[in-house]
């Protein structure tokens, strides 16, 4: 892919964070290029791509993504699975799920089933059905201020108090879908510890059958990525 992009006058280099990523350092119109239109690659931040590598989805597995839109991680997971298995992608907004469907068509992905759903509500049909569950929770977005500076002026202080409550609620519901021995992965695009480490800490305090496998906080000024938090947890087989 690097050579094909170079042939089209894009300058690229390998990512130092994600094994799946190429960084475009020079060139314009990547989203208008025929390679993109033909579904040969997607465009997203390195930190998001690394998150899917940490998740490590396998072909044939059942994945549930409870806050899937706009679908970057959902689609990356499908590619990691070689388009074999089943991904249930949910979001409260149908119009956002339509974005996922459109991207799946562009990429030739056929294993994603989208469905509008409130992530704070339990779906009894999914209880203990998933090998891996993705919780990319709604958050303050403080980690993407470099790309969306308007966040500094739109966020209200009371949101910072209510978000962790909702995030914990979503994480708790999502944990019910994880099989014994399965993976529960929590992530946000913020650097706020109250939305990240403290949510996970409170969840683990109440759910002793889950434990942390890997945890990482990306920082824009250090990693040159979005500010992004990810925590991969596993459900122990020997505990209820």
Which residues make Cβ contacts (< 8 Å) with residue 175, sequence separation at least 6?
Answer: 133, 184, 203, 207, 210, 235
Per the document, the length of the chain is 240
Catalytic residue check, 189:
yes
Integer Cα distance of 51 and 108 in angstroms: 22
> Using omega within 30 degrees of 0 as the cis cutoff, is the peptide bond preceding 7 cis?
no
Q: Is 72 helix (H, G, I), strand (E, B) or coil?
A: helix
- What are φ and ψ of residue 217, in 5° steps? -115, 115
- Catalytic: which of 67, 139, 189, 231? 189
Catalytic residues: 189
């Amino acid at each position: 892919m690097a050579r094909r992009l170079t042939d089209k006058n894009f300058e690229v280099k390998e990512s130092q964070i994600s094994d799946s990523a190429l960084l475009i350092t020079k060139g314009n119109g990547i989203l208008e290029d025929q390679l993109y239109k033909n579904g040969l690659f997607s465009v997203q931040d390195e930190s998001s791509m690394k998150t899917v590598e940490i998740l490590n989805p396998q072909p044939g597995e059942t994945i549930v993504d409870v806050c899937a839109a706009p679908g970057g991680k959902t689609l990356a997971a499908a590619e990691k699975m070689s388009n074999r298995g089943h991904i249930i992608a949910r979001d409260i907004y149908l119009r956002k799920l339509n974005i996922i469907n459109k991207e799946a068509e562009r990429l030739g992905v056929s294993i994603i089933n989208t469905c509008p759903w409130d992530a704070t509500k339990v779906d009894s049909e999914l209880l203990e059905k998933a090998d891996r569950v993705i919780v990319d929770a709604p958050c303050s977005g403080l980690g993407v201020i470099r790309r969306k500076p308007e966040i500094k002026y739109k966020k209200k202080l009371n949101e910072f108090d209510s978000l962790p409550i909702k995030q914990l609620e979503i994480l708790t519901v999502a944990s019910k879908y994880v099989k014994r021995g399965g993976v529960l992965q929590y992530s946000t695009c913020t650097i706020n510890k109250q939305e990240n480490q403290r949510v996970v800490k409170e969840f683990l305090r109440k759910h002793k059958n889950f434990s942390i496998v890997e945890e990482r906080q990306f920082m824009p000024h250090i990693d040159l990525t979005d500010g992004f938090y990810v925590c991969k947890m596993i459900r122990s087989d020997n505990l209820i």
